[in-house]
Chain A
Amino acid sequence: MKITTRLFTLLFLSSALMLSGCACESASEEKTNNSQQINDPYESFNRGVFAFNMLFDTAILKPVAEGYRAVTTPTMREGVSNFYKNLKETRNIANGALQGNAQKTENATKRLLANTFWGFFGFYDVASDMQIPAYDNDFGQTLAVWGWENSNTYIVLPFFGSSNPRDIGGTIGDFATPPSLFIALTTPWTAYPLSIGNYVQQREQSIEFIENLHRSSTDFYATVRTMTQQNRQKVINEALGKTSSDSVSEYNFDMDFGDFDE
């Protein structure tokens, strides 16, 4: 029983710490290698998990996020968002170092120190005012840098959303990055509200975005699948040090069909 509770804590905490930032761009999370290829051998299973996630979102997460918006001001919410981003800097530092990227490690360290000490535990993003750029770094990106560049089998996880084999490994790695594992093991009573709070504040940021996606989609599962995969590919390309011109060649799929009807 204790193990189950702890595992659940771990799941929640890691997801909360790993998702911040990108959830507002992509309904849940991401993946693939080639945006033109859909590799979804477990589609019916994935659709089942996706339906569960949507149900959870409609019944619990979204209403709570709307409640959070109703009782807070934009300035308060910005502070909370900054606080969670600051917590994640330790993960950015660790992965910057694991990828041998001195610049990213240095920036994340500076950001953590500046925001924790001068930014009142991270509620104010003074580092951005000091022109120290933020990078989102995770263990999935590290695995890509270490050679696991292509992992495009689409998998939907409960609560975590879109993933693939490499990024599932990444998620597990992110658990082990301090302080997530430490907090979860030593003070699970802190971990629960902390991670649930992060889920809620991230969901609040994407209320309009996800509503628009719903309205714009004829097959919401397929929309989320393709968007999260493409977005994740961009993140992986950046981690691999591909310049923007490489990224452009990445998008340069053939749109010039022979029998185009003018």
Chain B
Amino acid sequence: MKKLLSFLCGLFLLTQTAFGATDPAVEYVNKLTDDVIENVLASPAPMTEKLSSFQQKFHEALDLKYIGQFVLGVYWRTANQTQRDAFLNAFMDFTTKSWADKFNMYTGQKITFQGAQKAQKGQIFVNSTVQNNPPAVVVWRLREKDGQYKIIDIIVEGVSMAMSYRNEYASFLQNNNGDLTKLTQTLNEKSATFKFSDNKNK
């Protein structure tokens, strides 16, 4: 009986480890995506309400200040404080709208999680798959800040959001004599072009 009990206990522990059910990073992203799907994407609320709810969740979950500095690369170091603040504000607003626009294409796909891997400097990669046709691999890069997880990159089918912005802005700045103010201005102009309405085409 004792043997059976310890066998069952062992089996239970093994299953827990094997499926990573207790990994807090996986749990965090899982909860977050469930919350966004249930309360924003699949919600019958009007678009303006959904958008402001998405913006709030997006700002809470992502370390946009951190990402904003990374995407500027060397240009961050040479910028003065006013330019930095202006860029970060523009980048945060623009990224949020751009991702709201992306998520607007959501049509009920489910997300499954395959566990997490630790990287150096306390960073964590959470692996997931969006059950699309064909399925899409999505990796979430997190870092811990004040005991709280913050997303610093989302990698969809091998395409890193942070690296893509960094390469794009490097190209923009190279072609515009490193004029950060112009990049900021362009981002603000771009932000204004996003239109969200309750009618979806597809």
Contact = CB atoms under 8 A, between A and B. Distances in A.
Contact of A255 (B123, B164, B202): B123
Contacts of A221: 171
Indicate the size class of the contact surface on chain A: 35 or more
A226 B105 contact: no
B163 interface: yes
A36 B168 contact: no
Interface string A214-226: 0111110111011
B101 interface: yes
Contacts of A232: 158
B158 A222 contact: no
Nearest to A125: B133
Interface in A132-155: 134, 136
A38 interface: yes
Contacts of B169: 218
A259 B76 CA distance: 10
Contact of A256 (B121, B127, B159): B121
A260 B167 contact: no
B46 interface: no
Nearest to B66: A260
A222 B167 contact: yes
A230 B101 contact: no
B3 interface: no
Contact of A215 (B69, B134, B186, B194): B194
Interface in B174-202: 175, 183, 186-187, 190, 193-194, 201-202
Interface in A152-171: none
B172 interface: yes
B60 interface: no
B158 A231 contact: yes
Contacts of B101: 212, 215-216
A235 B167 contact: no
Contacts of A235: 158
A111 to B, nearest CB: 12
B98 A216 contact: yes
A215 B168 contact: no
A227 B66 CA distance: 21
A234 interface: yes
A227 B164 contact: yes
A248 B158 contact: no
A255 B141 contact: yes
B33 interface: no
B159 A230 contact: yes
Interface in B122-181: 123, 125, 127, 133-134, 136-137, 139, 141, 152-153, 155, 157-160, 162-164, 167-172, 175
Nearest to B169: A218
A230 B114 contact: no
B55 to A, nearest CB: 16
A259 B70 CA distance: 11
B38 to A, nearest CB: 23
A219 B172 contact: yes
B105 A259 contact: no
Given A208-B105, A216-B190, A219-B175, A251 B168 contact: no
A219 B121 CA distance: 32
Interface in A235-254: 235, 237, 244-245, 247-249, 251-253
B168 A222 contact: yes
B2 interface: no
A255 B162 contact: yes
A35 interface: yes
Most buried by A among B137, B141, B158: B158
A212 B134 contact: no
Given A235-B158, A256-B121, A260-B69, A226 B167 contact: yes
16 contacts: A38-B170, A208-B105, A208-B202, A215-B190, A216-B94, A218-B172, A226-B163, A227-B164, A230-B159, A237-B158, A252-B123, A255-B141, A255-B153, A257-B69, A259-B77, A261-B84
Interface of A: 21, 25-26, 35-36, 38, 128, 134, 136, 208-209, 212, 215-219, 221-223, 225-227, 230-235, 237, 244-245, 247-249, 251-253, 255-257, 259-261
Interchain residue pairs A-B with the least CB separation, the first 3? A234-B158, A222-B171, A226-B167
